[in-house]
Amino acid sequence: MKQNEKLTAIIGGTGLTEYSGLDIQDQKIIKTALGETSAPLIFGELMDQPVVFLARHGHPHKLPPHKVNYRANMLALQEVGVTEIIAVNAVGGITSGMDAEAICIPNQIIDYTHGREDTFFDGVYRPLDHVDFTHPYDEALSNKLHFSAEAKNILVTMGGVYAATQGPRLETAAEIRRLENDGCDVVGMTGMPEAVLARELGIPYACLALVVNKAAGKSEEAITMNDIYKSLNQGIHKVQAIIAGYLAS
């Protein structure tokens, strides 16, 4: 990669590497001072732009959300020269319009997780410091993803609040009512601490949240993994198209 060249990282499931026209060039297992990444980093070109893919839960999918080494993942991306990160997250829909296969580009997040290694400034790896997290997602990158969706006539909700819960279990109906009362629009398990770690490293970070089910209590039907995977497989093509359109712009 040339100096000052953009290098986009895409974090999500392994299916994200199944793009038409994607040229995979290399895979690397990265060992950082804080451990290994969840999976090998996959380097390639998409729309003639350099990209790095990282399977957040490992490959095969094996790591529960609270056991992902988010610090190693983000540190590795910085070490290979990543200049921006697009996070793809499967989420449950809470508010009106957040139905299966809907896409939200959130602008806020509330962290309900606990016990995760969620900072580089822990007084051990790096001295104590504090970062401004008023606006957790990069506005410019989020807007560009929105423009790409509009250009491809893909309906997305611009703005919204992502609730990051502990997992791996799904939430109760009462918990979802609480999240809604707190102002949350979608709920997922991997939005934090990724977002704040990117901020601590100074890497622009935006999220494409793909709704794969109505959250607990928001539908009369039981939530099944078969339905979740069906929505994920059908909706991921829209996510891929948005990212490809952004890279081509």
Decide: 205 and 137 in contact? Cβ < 8 Å: yes
Residue pLDDT, tens place only, 190-200: 999 999 999 99
DSSP element (H, E) containing 27: strand 23-28
Q: How confident is the model at residue 62 (pLDDT cuts 50, 70, 90)?
A: confident
1 confidence band (pLDDT: 50, 70, 90): low
Q: What pLDDT sits at residue 13?
A: 77
Q: How confident is the model at residue 43 (pLDDT cuts 50, 70, 90)?
A: very high
Q: What is the mean pLDDT of residues 182-197?
A: 98
Who contacts 130 (Cβ-Cβ below 8 Å, separation ≥6)? 121
Tokens, residue 67: 């056991």
User: Which residue intervals of the chain are DSSP H helices?
Assistant: 70-79, 139-151, 173-181, 194-201, 225-248
pLDDT tier, 202 (very low <50, low <70, confident <90, very high otherwise):
very high
pLDDT per position as a tens digit, 103-127: 999 999 999 999 999 999 999 999 9
Tokens for 240, please give them. 């891929």
DSSP 208: E
Task: Examine the pLDDT at 228 and tell me if it is beyond 60.
Answer: yes
- Global pTM value: 0.95
User: Does the domain spanning 8-248 belong to CATH 3.40.50.2300?
Assistant: no
pLDDT of residue 226: 85
**Contacts for 138 with CB less than 8 Å, ≥ 6 apart:** 84, 204, 205, 206
CA gap 57, 65 in Å, rounded: 7
**CA dist list (Å): 48 to 21, 54, 195:** 9, 19, 27
Name residue, tokens 């350099």.
50
Cα dihedral 133→12→232→247 (10° resolution) = 90
